Structure 1
C-alpha cells in the first residue's frame, strides 16, 4: 500500500533468498519492447517532450459496485490500476523520475454497495494529472525530459492508451484505441525531422510465439518465462520488487503532491 511496505517486501525477499516478480506486463509487449530499443539507440536525439494519455472507461458506470477499489487506504483508484504501470513505463523507457507534481480527483463520489444497503463513499482518485521531469538513460548530457501524463478510469469514449515522444531528431508515437484489450491493437509510428509520421514495421524478433484472444495471456506467459530463467540462474528478476518499489515511491509522491499542492523531488 505504500513505499515502506514495498521496501520491507524487498528486504524480506533478499533475506530469504527469494526471486520475486512483479507483473509489469507492458515490458513484455512487443510494440513497447521495440519502442524501448529505438529510444535506447538515440532515435529521438535530444529529449524534448513526452506525453502519455491513458484514458479508459472501466469505472465510468456510476452503478458499478463500491468495493476496495473505491478506497484509497485499500490501494484502490486509478493510481494503483494504471498509475503503477505508467510510472514503471517512464522509468523503463526513459529513465529515473527526478521530480513530479500531481493533481488527483474523484469524479464519481459514491457507488452502490454490493449488498444493496445504500452507498459507499469513494475517496480513491479516478483521474490523475501528473507533470514530471525524467533523466533519459539514452541521452548524453544533463538534459531532462519534461513529461505530462493523464490517467483516467472514467473517460467515456476515452482515446485509450497513447504515448508520444518528441526529440530534436524525430517523433515516436505508440498507441491503441482498444479499451477491451491492453495488448492487441498497439501500433508504433515514427518520423524523422521533416518527414510525415509513418507506421514502423513490427520487429519479428520480438513477436510472441503464440497469442490468445485474451491479450493478457501472451505477455504474462513471457514474464513467467523470464521469472523461471531468473530462478534457474540465481539472479534477480526484472521486473521485480525493486521496480515495484520505484513505482510505489513515485505513486506515494503523487499522493503527497496532491495533498500539499507542491512539487516533490524523488529521492533514490
Structure 2
C-alpha cells in the first residue's frame, strides 16, 4: 500500500484526493495547508488521518511514502526537491515552477533521486483526447499541415479581479503559465516538437498586470505551422477549440461548455467526405463525478503514477516533459518582451519580427 500525502487544501483536496482514492493500491494519509486549524478540520471531514500546517512536516513524516503537490508554482520546487531528497515520488501541478531555474532544479533532483515524478497535464488523460492522439498517430488526416487552437473563457479570478499567482505572469502564472502551459504540453504530445515560436501577451485594459491574453505562432519540427489564441477574459467565451488540418483530412476537438475538462466533441473527416463525423467517446469514470470534470482525467494520471512507482520506472508526463514546457513558457515570455521569433531548440536564437 502506497501512503500518499497531499500538499494543498484546495485543488489538492478537491481533485487529487478523490482521484487517488479511486485506486486501491494507495491510501491518502496526510493533508498539509497553510492554516493549521482549517487543515485539521478539512482532514477530519475527509477522513484523512494526519494534518499539518506546513508542507515540511508532511513531506518528512515517516508514514508518507509519496507526495502530491497542489501549490503555487513558486512553492513547488522546494517541496518537490525535499521529497525527492527523501526518496519519495512526487506528483506535481503545472507549471512546475515560477521560472526556468526552479524547473531545472526540480528536473535535476528527479534525475538524481531516480524516483518517479509526474505532472498533472490532465488534458492528455481525457478519453476523447486520447482517441484524437490515436487517430493522428495512425495517420487519419495524413501529414499535418497546420493546427489552430482557440481557447476563450472567463475564469473566476479574472471575473473577480483576484490578483493571485494565476493572474500574474511575473510569478509564473497569468494566461501563459496558468493556461498555455497546458497547451504547450498537449501540442507537442499531439503534433511533435515545437522548433520556433513568437508570442504576444497582454492584460486587461485597466489592469495590465493581470495577464489575460496570449497569442502564439509556432513552427513544428514536422514542417507544420501552429497558432494559439488564448484569453481568460472572455465573458460567455466560445470555449476551447482545437483544429488539425492534414493532407488527407481534418480532425477537431471542440468544447463549448464552461467546464474545462468535460464536453469535448471529437470529429473527423477524410477526403472526399463533405462533413465532419462525430466520434462518440464514453467515460464511465467521469459519470461517477458529476460535480467535477477534473477528477476522471486526474485519476488516470494517478494510476499511471502508481504504476510507475510499482515498476520502478519514470512516468509520463514527468518532470522531464514539464521542464520542456517550462522552457517553452520561458521562450514565449522572452519572445514577447523582445518582439522576436525564438528557436526553441537547445540553443536559442533571436530574430527580430
TM-score by length of 2: 0.67
1:134 Cα offset (Å): 1.2
- Aligned partner (choices 128, 132, 140) of residue 35 of structure 1: 132
| Alignment check: 8 A CA contact 1:57 1:158 kept | yes
CA distance 1:219–1:158, change in 2 (3 Å): same
CA distance 1:190–1:4, change in 2 (3 Å): same
Instruction: Determine helix, strand or coil for the equivalent of 2:179.
Output: helix
CA distance 1:263–1:210, change in 2 (3 Å): closer
1:60 Cα offset (Å): 7.8
- Pairwise mapping of residues 1-268 of structure 1 onto structure 2 (< 5 A)? 1-58=98-155, 63-110=160-207, 122-136=208-222, 144-179=223-258, 181-202=259-280, 207-209=283-285, 211=287, 212-213=289-290, 214-268=292-346
CA distance 1:173–1:9, change in 2 (3 Å): same
1:199 Cα offset (Å): 3.1
Instruction: Determine helix, strand or coil for the equivalent of 1:235.
Output: coil
Q: Structure 1, residues 171-214: CA drift from partner, whole Å, max 9, x if none?
A: 001110111x222211111111231333333356xx44453111
1:126 Cα offset (Å): 0.7
1:100 Cα offset (Å): 0.2
Q: CA RMSD in A?
A: 1.7
Q: Distance in 2 between matches of 1:102 and 1:244?
A: 20
Q: Distance in 2 between matches of 1:76 and 1:47?
A: 31
Q: Distance in 1 between matches of 2:224 and 2:273?
A: 23
| Alignment check: 8 A CA contact 1:164 1:171 kept | yes
| Alignment check: 8 A CA contact 1:60 1:155 kept | no
Q: Distance in 2 between matches of 1:61 and 1:234?
A: 42
Bigger Rg, structure 1 or 2:
2
Instruction: Determine helix, strand or coil for the equivalent of 2:149.
Output: strand
1:44 Cα offset (Å): 1.4
| Alignment check: 8 A CA contact 2:151 2:240 kept | yes
1:62 Cα offset (Å): 5.3
CA distance 1:109–1:59, change in 2 (3 Å): farther
Structure 2 unmatched runs, 5+: 1-97, 347-353
Count residues with an aligned counterpart: 247
Q: Distance in 1 between matches of 2:229 and 2:121?
A: 19
Report the equivalent of 1:141: none
- Relative contact order (C-alpha < 8 Å, sep 6+): which is higher? 1
CA distance 1:81–1:70, change in 2 (3 Å): closer
| Alignment check: 8 A CA contact 2:153 2:239 kept | yes
